[in-house]
Structure 1
Amino acid sequence: MNTTIPYTNLITGTMDVISQSLTIPVLIILSIMFIITVVMLGMVISEYTSRKKVSVETISKLIYDINNAISIYELETIVTNSELPKSQKDVLNNIIQSHTLSETSREALARRLVETEEEKTENTLRKTDIITKIGPTLGLMGTLIPMGPGLAALGAGDITTLAQSLTVAFDTTIVGIGSGALAYVLSKVRRGWYEHYLSDLDALTDALLDKMGRL
């Protein structure tokens, strides 16, 4: 005895309409993500060629120079003439210019400036992090959605429609996984740079605040 679940045809038909209606949006989003990933790759290459590589020895020497400074003016000179990236110099010079503030206020300002740099790095990484997470998912969706019509075409003996469905399925899988993998690599590379950048900035900020508290 066959038992038919009420409204089965209605439910399955509705789900089929929903899934098929997602085909174009998924393809568009995958295409956009792939373009963004390629653009980000170019930006990472450009950033690599232009970024200043500051060694541990340079940071160590700079901390010693800060500690040996005898005036606010000398601190400004040390920071300005250093080999640090401009963004780090700007943060440190802003802290130096706050020498008229109380120690508590100066530390609060320094903390906020460093947090702003952290927010900038997180904003830069957010795009590739998102693509890393949803790229493979959308690729899987793009694989499964055309499989329905493809299997139906197979049952009807329509090889042409089946071939078209399989082509779309394979293409979306490749684009989704490829975009996610490339975005993951870009995020890892950039995150390593930014962690080093923020670590240097934290060390220099602490040294600067300590010295300014003793001037």
Structure 2
Amino acid sequence: MGFVIATAYGNFEHFASIFWYRLSKNKKGDGKMILNHLQSALYLIMNAFLYPVMALLLAFFIWILMLSGGFISEWLLRKRIQRPEWLAAKLCNEISHAAYRGASQQINAYLEGIRFGNLCWKYFLRELAKEITEKREHLDLVLENLLQEYQIKVEKLLDKTRILIRIGPMLGLMGTLIPMGPALLALSQGDLTRMANSLIIAFSTTVVGLAVGGIAYVISVIRQRWYEEDMKDISYFSDLIIKNLNKEELDGIFKEKKREK
């Protein structure tokens, strides 16, 4: 990124110096000459963005290939957590007997038995195991905080592809339009070789930009559906824990009242 910014700044500084040199040579000050200088300035600014746009497109293409590899790996290893009711009942049984470390061990044993699975689910359960050991009170608040942290983590994962969905085609369009100016100029001068080279750059950047945006869109849509399913499962799991704990507390109160009678 630093190289791209430095290249853009260097090109802009070079073209700006040419523009001001031409403007200083204008002694007549007529409007037509000023308009020509303004057009030249815009043309120079446009050309200054060509190499940074090409470098960014190449970087984004490498980035989307890496994201695609991670997506395929996640798809192959992905497996929804089974029997959340069983795990919730086990945890509630341990917590009701004040065996918080035992509840944490139940979660860790459950995770060790899962060879494949969703990384976000595993992250949630690992954090829950830590929180149960360290914070033994207000478990409902702890679960709510973990749910919010999970949502933030999911948004960060989805933002990577959302950026490419917008920026990829945008850079592709810029990479298409920028070489069109030199191509038309070369056509007017009869330089077909230069025109062909400019058109090759224009069409290549278009294809790369659209490919980046299209792949990122597919990954984003599928991952969003996955994470919505996981969020539903995690919320259901959390509700089971709270409901079972409340039920056990009420059962304990009823038993104490019967003993008092």
* Bigger Rg, which one: 2
> CA-to-partner distance for each residue in 1:63-116, whole Å, 9 max, x for gaps?
566677753547556544545743232233245336632x3xx33332222211
Aligned to 2:133: 97
Pick from 180, 203, 208: which aligns with 1:147? Answer: 180
Residue segments in structure 1 that go unaligned for 5+ positions in a row: none
Pick from 122, 126, 131: which aligns with 2:164? Answer: 131
Shift of 1:24: 0.3
| CA-atom RMSD in angstroms | 2.6
Say whether residues 1:107 and 2:107 are aligned partners: no
Q: TM-score, normalised by structure 1?
A: 0.83
Instruction: Give the direction of change, closer, same or farther, for the CA distance of 1:92–1:212 in structure 2 (3 Å limit).
Output: farther
Query: Which amino acid in structure 1 is aligned with residue 79 of structure 2?
Result: K
Q: TM-score, normalised by structure 2?
A: 0.70
Query: Which amino acid in structure 1 is aligned with residue 169 of structure 2?
Result: P
Higher relative contact order at CA 8 Å, sep ≥6: structure 1 or structure 2?
1
Pick from 118, 123, 126: which aligns with 1:87? Answer: 123
Q: Tell me how far apart the structure 1 counterparts of residues 181 and 77 of structure 2 sit (CA, whole Å).
A: 49
Q: Tell me how far apart the structure 1 counterparts of residues 189 and 237 of structure 2 sit (CA, whole Å).
A: 71
Shift of 1:188: 1.2
> CA-to-partner distance for each residue in 1:170-211, whole Å, 9 max, x for gaps?
000000000100011111121122111222111111222333
Say whether residues 1:41 and 2:68 are aligned partners: yes
Say whether residues 1:13 and 2:40 are aligned partners: yes
Shift of 1:153: 0.4
Identity of aligned residues (%): 32
Instruction: Give the direction of change, closer, same or farther, for the CA distance of 1:98–1:210 in structure 2 (3 Å limit).
Output: farther
Q: How many residues align?
A: 208
Query: Which amino acid in structure 1 is aligned with residue 97 of structure 2?
Result: S
Aligned to 2:18: none
Which stretch of the first structure deviates more once superposed, 83-92 or 66-75? 66-75
